[in-house]
Amino acid sequence: MQKVTVVSPDKLNYYFLGEDMFPEYRDLISALKHSDLHFTHLFDKHNEIDQRIKNFEANIEYAAHEEIESLKKEKLHLKDEIYKILIATKNLNC
């Protein structure tokens, strides 16, 4: 049986945009997505890979185990890059 998460309409955009990744940086993420093309690219790529992994794990799409593991590593690398930008931007604005 597959687990289903119900999200209220007011939080739908928040979760869809992947901002649950770093909830403590919600406002900064939103600002960077509107002002930093590189950040937006990393963020969108992370979310795209995240969705692909979820599809594979839910058997919506098929992929070899090695491909899924490779995607997970790429996703983690992107998350690290996103976090570095968040910290650097936060420190700049302090």
pLDDT per residue as tens digits for the range 46-68: 999 999 999 999 999 999 999 99
φ, ψ of residue 62 in degrees (nearest 5): -110, 140
Rounded Cα–Cα distance for residues 15 and 22 (Å): 11
Under 8 Å between Cβ of 14 and 21: no
pLDDT class of 94 with cuts at 50, 70, 90: confident
CB atoms within 10 A of CB 56: 17
Residue 18 has pLDDT above 50, yes or no: yes
CA 33/CA 28 separation, integer angstroms: 8
- Residue 58's pLDDT is what? 92
> Are 83 and 22 contacting, i.e. CB atoms less than 8 angstroms apart?
yes
Structure pTM?
0.77
Q: State the average pLDDT over residues 61-90.
A: 96
